[in-house]
């Protein structure tokens, strides 16, 4: 008959047992979680600033919403706001105006969309430390694809 272990003995046994989740995956998950949380907080706060300070924005929200509700296409919406259409390169326009409320909102969206790039960095480091070079190469290829997509070099709109 097996006796019940005391709490300190069970705790010591769990500390000595092998880790079930690889450290690279834990670090990927931690970075992913914190960046997504930051992105969500920025995305919640930024619209308040956009509506509080409409003259500080790159795009006047009242003109943009009016054009959207009238059913205009993206080119006409940008023109209604007084800015030339940014086909796939809008993030550069907003990063040049990062301290405007809508630039801050764009930063939150871009941060959230690029989270896999940032989260793969510590994972690649851990794979390298363990000499798992196939995983290092696959992770670097994925990071490269994300970087190409973020840069606008690869554009699916044509």
Per residue in 27-73, pLDDT tens? Answer: 999 999 999 999 999 999 999 998 898 888 888 888 888 999 999 98
pLDDT at 60: 83
pTM over 0.85: no
Phi–psi pair at 130, nearest 5 degrees:
-90, 0
Task: Quote the pLDDT of residue 17.
Answer: 58
Of the CA atoms within 13 Å of residue 115, those in its CB half-sphere come to: 18
Weakly modelled stretches of the chain, pLDDT under 50: none
Q: What dihedral angle (degrees, nearest 10) is formed by the CA atoms of 128, 135, 152, 68?
A: -110
Report, in angstroms and rounded to the nearest whole number, the Rg of the chain calculated over CA atoms. Answer: 23
Q: What is the pLDDT of residue 56?
A: 86
């Amino acid at each position: 008959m097996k006796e019940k272990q005391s709490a300190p003995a069970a705790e010591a046994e769990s500390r000595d047992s092998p880790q079930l989740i690889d450290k690279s995956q834990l670090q990927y998950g931690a970075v992913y979680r914190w960046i997504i949380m930051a992105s969500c907080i920025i995305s919640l706060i930024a619209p308040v600033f956009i509506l509080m300070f409409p003259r500080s924005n790159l795009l006047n929200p009242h003109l943009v919403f009016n054009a959207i509700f009238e059913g205009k296409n993206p080119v006409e919406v940008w023109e209604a706001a007084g800015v030339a259409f940014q086909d796939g390169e809008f993030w550069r326009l907003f990063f040049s105006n990062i301290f405007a409320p809508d630039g801050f909102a764009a930063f939150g969206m871009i941060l959230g969309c690029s989270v896999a790039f940032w989260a793969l960095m510590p994972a690649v480091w851990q794979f390298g430390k363990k000499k798992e070079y196939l995983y290092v190469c696959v992770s670097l290829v994925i990071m490269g694809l994300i970087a190409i997509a973020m840069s606008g070099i690869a554009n699916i709109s044509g």
